[in-house]
Structures are given as C-alpha cells and as structure tokens.
Amino acid sequence: MLNVSVLGYGTVGSGVVEVLTTNKESIAKKAGQEINVKYILDLRDFPGDPHEDKVVHDFNVILNDEDVQIVVETMGGVKPAYDFVKACLEAGKSVCTSNKELVAKHGAELIAIAKEKSINFFFEASVGGGIPIIRPMINCLNGDEIEEISGILNGTTNYILTKMSKEGLDFDSVLKDAQDKGYAERNPEADVEGYDACRKIAILTSLAYGKQVDFEDIYTEGITKITDVDIKYANALGAAIKIFGSSKKVGNDIYAKVAPVMINGEHPLYSVNDVFNGIFVKGNMVGDLMFYGSGAGKLPTASAVVADVVEAAKSLNANLPMIWENDKLQLADIKEAKQRFFVRLSGNAAENAAKVESTFGKVQVVEAGVENEYAFITDQVKEGEFAQKAEQLGNVVSRIRVDF
Ligand code: HSE
C-alpha cells in the first residue's frame, strides 16, 4: 500500500480524494498497489465528511511522515504552496499538483529538485484541467519541433464569449450569469483579464522549448473590452471571437501572447464552446493536433491529478525526465509579430474610406448594419506598426486580431 497526502481540501483536493475512493480498485491495478489517502491538510475542519479523521492542520505532520511517499498539492497560489511543495520534494516525496501559478513561476526549479532526488514533480492538471496535454508534450512529441500552440485555455471566458455570441448579450450581464452559475469567481479578474490563460501558455511554451518562459514577459489582453457590437460584426463574418493563449515559432523567434482573436469555421478551435477548452498544437513532423475536453471543474481536474499519482506510484525512486531548464527563454518582441486586425472606426464610410486606404492600403470592408461606423480588416501588418497607424487614425472604437 502506498500513502499519499493531499494539501488543500477545496474543489480539486476533495475531487482527488473522491476519484481515489470511487475508482480505488482499478487505480490499484494500474498503480501496482493500493493508494491510500493518509492525511488531508487544510485550515478548516470537515465535520461529517467521510474523510474527516484524515484532516490535519500542521503541514509538518505530512512532511515528517516517511510513510507518505506522494503528496498532492491542490491549494492554489504560490504562497505557501511553493514552500510546501519544495520541502516535500527535498524530503524525497513526489508531488502532483494542479497549481498553474506555482508551475508557471517555479516549474524549472521544482523539476530540477525532483530530478536530483530521483522522484517526480508532475503537473498534468495545471493546464487544460482533465485534458491530457502535459504528458503528450513531454512524452509523445519528442520527435517534433513545436511550431505553434494555440489554446482556448480558460473555461470561464470561453463560456462568456460563447454566450455573448449565441444570445447577443453584453459582457457584464453574461459575466453575472457565469458567476451565478458558479463558473466565474466572485473576483473574476484572473480569468477575464487573461492572467489564468497567461500562466497556462507560459507552462506549455516552457515545455515546448525546454526553457523558462516568464509569464510576466507574455503580452496579455483579456476580454473585458469585447462588446456585443464586436460580436455582431463577428457573426456577420461567420467568425467567432475566442481568447487564445498562443505561442508561435517564426524562424528563430518565439512569440507568445494572450488575446482575443476572431477565427472562422475553418479553424480547428472554432467549435470549442461553453466551458470547454481546446488546444491546437502544430509539430514540424506530426502536423496539426487537437486536444479537447473539460478544462476545469472538480472531477475532470482531479482525474488528471490522480493520473499523475498513478504515474508517480509506478515510478517511485525513478525520475521520469522532462526538459524545462532554468535558463530564460527570450521571447521575441510582440511589436514585430505580423497579424491581421479587424478595426471599427466611428463615422461613416464617406468620412473614413479614403483615409483608411491611405493608411492601410486596400482593406476588407465589413458590413454588419451598425450605424455611423466603418469597419474593416487589414492585411498582415506588424503589431507595432498597426498600433501607430491606429493612433494616427484617431477614431478607433475597437480592434481585434484576426486569424483567417
Ligand atoms: N478559472 C479557470 C477556468 C479554472 O475558468 O478555466 C481552471 O484553471
């Protein structure tokens, strides 16, 4: 029998205990031995919970118990999760975490400690919830060089954008609905401002190129400025507005960003709707790959954590190598990235057409029956150049990147 302990008995932590309990027998077969939850660390007590006797409040009980070989970290946030996880790894316990903030910030260091101690630090659930994406990146794509990762990496914002698109509603009322349904946090900033997707694309990009991508370096734009009028134009174009976390290799440069983007029906992520996540990966040998499923939620996320626990149980005292070195990956300047832009200007065609053509050359005009506006899509233009030209025009109502 192998003892695990769970740090944090919230949504995901309680899901991990539920998965380990519900699928106990099949998990034991796959792991080669029974997996027992010995302790659950939380500040709270859980009277009436079937596992209440396992709850402890002192982390040292777990750290100092040599019978605990695997620790699950589902607390979230960097503090104190980082100190706890590092201490567990240094004490020779493998760690499986769902914590994207922790992995994005300290992944390289924690992977190095696990390697030195011949144990494992796994984090399948940190990106895409229940979708297998980390292990495919580490194990299945070693024959390839990764050319692109584009992901709908946040369920809350995908739900909001899908509902705005299908029901023609504005951002604020859909956000409120998402909060009432429990999809969006009361403080939804990390989701709607793109910070959550930023951590996730930082992790995927670090794994793709084997070096530390600092999430602070990633250009990040959320969905708070997307309006129902933008959606009306997207619908007129037969397009959808999604928020992508993406990284692309162009020559020797790697560009990464989080931003809303218009895609049309030909894009493999077009049909990824509601709270689902989808991740498109392009390898230089394998070509296009798609990963799709539940990117959040108690049991999908717990499923991925438990898969890590099984993997850790199968490889006790043997580090499964993954390349994510501490050296910083220098991202290319986003201003140099080429992109098409959808642009809305105030004023009618007579007021705008000539100055738009002299600024951007020939453009694709977009009609959606919106009065006193002139909307168009540019050809490919460098981000920095576009920003200058948009400022010159002086009457931009909104602009959204276009990926078709
Ligand atoms: N808030 C996140 C989302 C949870 O909506 O996708 C999963 O990381």
Question: Which residues form ligand 1's pocket by a CB distance below 6 Å?
Answer: 129, 154-156, 191, 196, 295-296
Q: Which helix (H) or strand (E) holds 284?
A: none
Mean pLDDT of the chain: 97
Q: Note the pLDDT of residue 159.
A: 95
Which fold does the domain 2-129+298-328 belong to in CATH? Rossmann fold (3.40.50)
Q: What is the pLDDT of residues 15-64, one digit of tens each?
A: 999 999 999 999 999 999 999 999 999 999 999 999 999 999 999 999 99
289/256 Cα distance (integer angstroms): 19
Q: Ligand 1: distance of its center to the CA of 302 in Å?
A: 13
Q: What is the pLDDT of residues 198-224, one digit of tens each?
A: 999 999 999 999 999 999 999 999 999
Q: What is the DSSP string of 210-243?
A: TEEPPGGGSEE--STT--HHHHHHHHHTTEEEEE
56/5 Cα distance (integer angstroms): 10
Test site for ligand 1: of 101, 196, 276, most ligand atoms within 8 A of the Cβ = 196
Rg (CA), the chain: 23
What atom of ligand 1 comes closest to residue 100's alpha carbon? 8
- Region 256-260: what's the mean pLDDT? 98
CATH code 3.30.360.10 region(s) in the chain: 136-294
Alpha helices in 260-382 (DSSP H): 298-314, 349-360
Test site for ligand 1: of 183, 191, 193, most ligand atoms within 8 A of the Cβ = 191
As a CATH number, domain 334-402 is 3.30.70.240
Q: Note the pLDDT of residue 186.
A: 78
Q: What is the pLDDT of residues 139-186, one digit of tens each?
A: 999 999 999 999 999 999 999 999 999 999 999 999 998 888 877 777
Burial environment of residue 26 by CB neighbours within 10 A (0 to 12, 13 to 18, 19 or more): exposed
Q: What is the pLDDT of residues 40-53, one digit of tens each?
A: 999 999 999 999 99
Q: Ligand 1: distance of its center to the CA of 76 in Å?
A: 12
153/26 Cα distance (integer angstroms): 30
Q: Note the pLDDT of residue 183.
A: 78
Task: Specify the residue with its C-alpha closest to ligand 1, atom 8.
Answer: 296
Q: Cis (ω within 30 of 0) for the bond into 132?
A: no
Q: Ligand 1: distance of its center to the CA of 154 in Å?
A: 5
Q: Ligand 1: distance of its center to the CA of 129 in Å?
A: 8
What atom of ligand 1 comes closest to residue 301's alpha carbon? 7
Q: Note the pLDDT of residue 368.
A: 97
CATH of 136-294, one of 3.40.605.10, 3.40.1710.10, 3.30.360.10, 3.20.20.100: 3.30.360.10
Q: Ligand 1: distance of its center to the CA of 398 in Å?
A: 26
Q: Note the pLDDT of residue 181.
A: 82
Q: Ligand 1: distance of its center to the CA of 329 in Å?
A: 25
Q: What is the pLDDT of residues 388-400, one digit of tens each?
A: 999 999 999 999 9
Q: Ligand 1: distance of its center to the CA of 100 in Å?
A: 10
Neighbours of 276 (CB within 10 A): 19
The answer to whether the predicted template modeling score (pTM) of the entire model surpasses 0.85 is: yes
Q: What is the pLDDT of residues 269-306, one digit of tens each?
A: 999 999 999 999 999 999 999 999 999 999 999 999 99
Catalytic member of 54, 105, 200, 242:
200
- β 55-56/35-41 pair status: parallel
Query: What backbone phi and psi angles, to 5 degrees, belong to 324?
Result: -155, 85
CATH code 3.30.70.240 region(s) in the chain: 334-402
Q: Starting from the edge strand earliest in sequence, which strands make up the sheet with 94-97, in order?
A: 55-56, 35-41, 2-7, 68-73, 94-97, 121-122
187 — pLDDT class (breaks 50, 70, 90):
confident
CATH code 3.40.50.720 region(s) in the chain: 2-129+298-328
3 state SS of 85? helix
389 is catalytic: no
